[in-house]
Amino acid sequence: MKLGVFSISLSVKDLNASKAFYEKLGFSVFGGAMDNHYLIMKNRDTLIGLFEGMFEDNTLTFNPGWDSNATTLEDFEDVRVIQKEIKNQGLKLEKEADEDGKGPESLVLKDPDGNTILIDQHVS
């Protein structure tokens, strides 16, 4: 399975404090906006999403169709193909992608310890 570029999405209490902390570790703002209560921070090929008040749990995030610069890849597995493979492995989905749709879509599952995994495709 080709899940796409990986990042961790962190549920933060204070976006300004988290931004300052990760900047001290060498991260810089790559995307998002303070006004929208989220930032994507990048250090080389490592991505961390900081989300204030958007969700409770930290989330492992994969983005099929993107590289670590959010550049669209020509060759990638569509989230619907990934979903079929996940189902074939007997894993339970918390949220399913529309199998008949095209383009951007997402699915959610949890690992055995309850960690949320988001597979979030932004491209067609």
User: What is the spatial distance between Cα 3 and Cα 75, in angstroms, rounded to a whole number?
Assistant: 12
Give the pLDDT means over successive 10-residue stretches in the chain (124 positions). 95 98 98 97 96 94 94 96 97 96 96 95 94
pLDDT of residue 47: 96
User: What is the spatial distance between Cα 43 and Cα 24, in angstroms, rounded to a whole number?
Assistant: 11
Nearest-5° Cα angle at 32, 71 to 22 = 100
User: What is the spatial distance between Cα 39 and Cα 28, in angstroms, rounded to a whole number?
Assistant: 10
Assigned token pair, 3: 């899940």
User: What is the spatial distance between Cα 49 and Cα 9, in angstroms, rounded to a whole number?
Assistant: 4
| DSSP H or E segment with residue 15 | helix 15-24
| DSSP H or E segment with residue 82 | helix 79-88
pLDDT of residue 16: 98
> Which residues contact residue 71 at a Cβ distance below 8 angstroms, ignoring those fewer than 6 apart?
none
Query: How is domain 5-121 classified at the CATH fold level?
Result: 2,3-Dihydroxybiphenyl 1,2-Dioxygenase; domain 1 (3.10.180)
How do the domains of the chain map onto residue ranges?
Answer: 5-121
Predicted TM-score (pTM) of the model is: 0.89
Segment 64-91, tens digit of pLDDT: 999 999 999 999 999 999 999 999 999 9
> Which residues contact residue 73 at a Cβ distance below 8 angstroms, ignoring those fewer than 6 apart?
65, 66, 67
